[in-house]
Each structure stands twice: as structure tokens, then as C-alpha cells.
Structure 1
Amino acid sequence: MCRWLAYVGEPLLASTVILDAQHSLVAQSLNSPLGHETVNGDGFGFGWYPEESAPHSGPAFFHSIEPAWNDENLRELTRSVRSPLFFSHVRAAAGPPIQRTNCHPFRHENWMFMHNGALDDFEKSKRDLTFAVDPSLYPEIRGTTDSEVLFHLALTLGLKEDPIAAMEKAVRMVESVGHDHGIPFPMQGTVAVTDGVTIWAFRYSSARRTRTLFHSVDIDILREMYPDAERLTLFGSHARLVVSEPLNDLPGVFTEVPESTVAIVDAEGYRYQPFLDAA
């Protein structure tokens, strides 16, 4: 489907994880060992909160339909941008066309959203789900993906007030409409949402066989585990990463997020909460 990463912590040069890691996101766009598709070359996106103004201003974006491994502008940009919170996503199109408006992450005011997975048989439920979006938000849907509709459904259902409750309502609606159309497992995916301060990372699928999701271990613990790893000096004490798959092969650096779980990530660390585990 896709691969993505989300970072929050001390301002970090984005290329550190998007380009320069052993299994960076750009490397995963060419070869994704844990992905549903090995190659994710149908465009990419990079969204970040400016270092001096986050979280008071909305995020900046760069999207392209070029393969991430072949885009010089992505290299130039990520080697220049330092940000305390950023998202990046490489796309493997599951049906909707390859166009810039279909590249993640998506944005509304100071919020960002990205998704790895799919709403199964979306063409059957698309009309009902799209028309459930609040009329004031409907004009903001610029692309044709199921992911963008899911984002605007969550906004309609209160994402800005309570992200977890809103995502629960949105996914329940996807499943209800899907079942009405004879779709046995309507929802698949991992989702990242942020307001510019906190990241909510969801792992859930109707079939309980969700795409992979991991987060990094506390950086101080990693420095004790690997005292000679110079690369760890690039990260501050509050650096946190959520990723579709680990960025290196070092044992113990990344922990898998459990099935049907939301990981809440901020300067204080990680907290888990069950997500639709009894749906």
C-alpha cells in the first residue's frame, strides 16, 4: 500500500530519517521488506511544522508524483528543513490515479493526516461516505483517495476536539457502510494524525490483520544499549519516531505497536490505548 514516518521532538534535519537512515523512507520506496508492495513509487509527500512557529502556524507541504528516490527537490528540501514535527509518506497507488492531490499527508488548518492501507471496495461505499462529510469541509476534498475522505469524515465527527473518539466514529461508519454494501472487511490501515504538538498513530483493520507499525525506543535507553553508535548523537532526548517499518537493523531500537491500538506520542513519551478492540 504505502510507507510513512512521523517525527516529533527537538528540531531535526528531516533528511536524517527520510534520506540518510539505513532503511530510510526513500530506501523503503525502492524496497520495502515488510510492505504489502515492495516498491512505493507512485509519488510522495513531506509535511512539516516550521521550527520557529510550530505549532501556532499550520504545516508546510511538498508533494510530487515523482518516485521519492528520483526527486532532487526532496533531497534539497529535507537537507535544509529542520522541524520539531514532520510527516513523510511514499505511495503505492491501490486504485486512485497518480496525481499530486492524491499524495499524503493531507492538511486542514494546523492538522495533518496520512494513511497506509485502504477502504476495501471503496467504489461501492464512496458516495455514502463522501456525502457524510460536513458540507463546509466537502470543498476541501481535492483528490480522489479513500484516505482523504476518511480524514474529512474524522474532521466532521470531531477530530479537532477528540482525535481518538472521532477516528473511532469514522472507522465505525466506514465499517457500517461497507457492511451495508456487502464488504466483509471494509477498513485496513495505519493512520497518523497530528495537531502540531501530539501525534496519534492508529493501527487497526476490520480483519485484525493490519499493516505493520512501529515506534522508536526512548533515546536515552538506546544510548545505553549502543554507546558507540555515533548516529544517536543526532537526536535529542525527546526524539520520537513512528514508522511503517524500522529504519535500521539494530535489535531493540523499534517496538511494534499492537493490533487495534492507538499510540499517543508527545514530549512525555508514548502511551497506548485500545482502539475498537471490541468492535
Structure 2
Amino acid sequence: MALVAGATRGAGRAIAMALGGAGATVYCSGRSGGGARSDYDRPETLEETAALVTEAGGTALVSVTDHLEPEEVSALVSRIHREQGRLDILVNDIGGEAYVRFGVPLWEYPLEEGLRLMRAALLSHLITARAALGLLVRHPGGLVVEITDGTREFNRDRFRDTVFLDLTKTGVDRLAFAEGHELAEHGGTAVSVTPGWLRSEMMLEAFGVTENDWFDASRAAQEPGSPPAAFVISETPHMLARGIAALAADPGRARWNTRSVSSFELAEHYDLTDVDGSRPDTWRYMREVVETGTAADVTDYR
């Protein structure tokens, strides 16, 4: 029994599909459903995600929920309790990417926009976990996955471009660390998981590429608006999703409790790949190639 908060698109959608494909009943929640769009104003909907979960072999239930509204989240958890009697997996994947202003220093960053990012991508996780964990701990073995950006090791010595983004993404990681300590005595596990450079719908659209031409566009001569060269190391949301599904199915998953791991680490541990058969290692590529300006064969990192 799983709840994926932020299941409308990107990683959340892929995770819901992977958990459904593994046989789970998945509550798909977010703001884009029932004919309404969130302020992202994207075309994807929860109903589309639910259809994909069903197609993958799972059972999907849609909940149009604003995860910044405690009453709405509590109502969702009460519904899960009423309909299922338990919650085994919580995935918090509300990212707030649309609210980031890159390269803007703190003193120039519009305060309300910065706070909106932190509310959407950190406070929503906290509100949802607070509401859901009381149900999750009623049965031992529960799993909480907090999706963030960057591993704990990578973020420790690197500034994530803006103060608001830096605090938000490292805060999500710390939330998983703290949750893991409180869940341990109940037989539960909390893990902070990051994808690499995620080739989501929003990212493909931002660079004006598709799944068919993104790689060639990344390797071509750089033009304004084209993907940066480092985009060659990107991955689909499905590599992350496959790793989380394997983690959820692992009876020894407590070994991961309080840890920060990447989609690559999960894929390597569980012998998984992305949909094209590769296993991109974004964070090592960033350290060894992008940050040093070293020429490298990208196949060594895929």
C-alpha cells in the first residue's frame, strides 16, 4: 500500500508506475487532477498517471490534494486508513522546480518566490510525513522515501546555486535522516534518494528536445537554448523508479535507513538499468568531468 505525493509527472509518475508494476495499490496525489491544473500550468494529470499505473499491472487511486494544506493531507491519510487499513510506503516527490530562480543572490531574490519554493519542496514533505507516519508505523517494515536533488556527500561541499534551493534540497535530505531515527524503533526505514540529471517532461521541453533527439542535441555544437553538453549523462525517471521499487521489495531495506543514496547507487546495488540499458552515474560525472573541465568518454559514465 503506497502513497506517492507528487505523482502527476516526472519522477513521481514513474515511481507510481514502478510500484504498481510490482503489485502495489498506489494512491496518486497532487494538485493537477479533476479538471484543474496547478500553478505549474502543465498538461499532465493525476488521472493519466493512474491509467499508466493500471496499465503497468497495479491498482491506482487518485487524490487531488494540496500537500501544503494540512487538512487536505490529513483527509487523504484518513481515506487510506478507511479504505486500506494500512500504509506501507510513502514517497514524497514534490519538487518545486518551477519556482527556482537560478543565479540570484539572497538579497535580490524575491522573498515570496523563495519562500514558495521552500514551502512547495520542503514544507509539503514535512506536512505529509507528519500526517502519514502515524499510520505507517502501525505495521513494521514501513518505508519512507524523500526525493531530493544531490546526495548528502555531493551537497556537503557544494553550493546549490541559490540559498533557497540549497536549504530546500539539503533540508529534504535531513528530513529523511531525522525520520529514519524515529522510525527505527518501529521497524521502519527512511531514505533520501536523488536522481541524476533527470530527463523529465519539463526538462525536455525546456531544452526543446525529445526522447528521440536529446542525446544528439547535447553532443552538437552548443547554441542558445540547446541542452548543455553535460546533458549527455541524463537519465529517465524510470531508473530512479526502478531503484525505489527494488528498495521497497527488499526485506533487508533497513540497511539503507537514514542514508542518502542516488539512483545510480540503487541501480548498481540491485543490478538495474535505465530504459535504454545504460546506468548513468551523474554525480561522479559532475565531479570528475564537469567540475574539472576534463575531456572524457561519456560511455565511461553510462
TM-score normalized with structure 1 length: 0.30
Q: By percentage of residues, which structure has more strand?
A: 1
Structure having the higher Rg? 2
User: Which structure would you say has the larger RCO, counting Cα contacts within 8 Å and 6 or more residues apart?
Assistant: 1
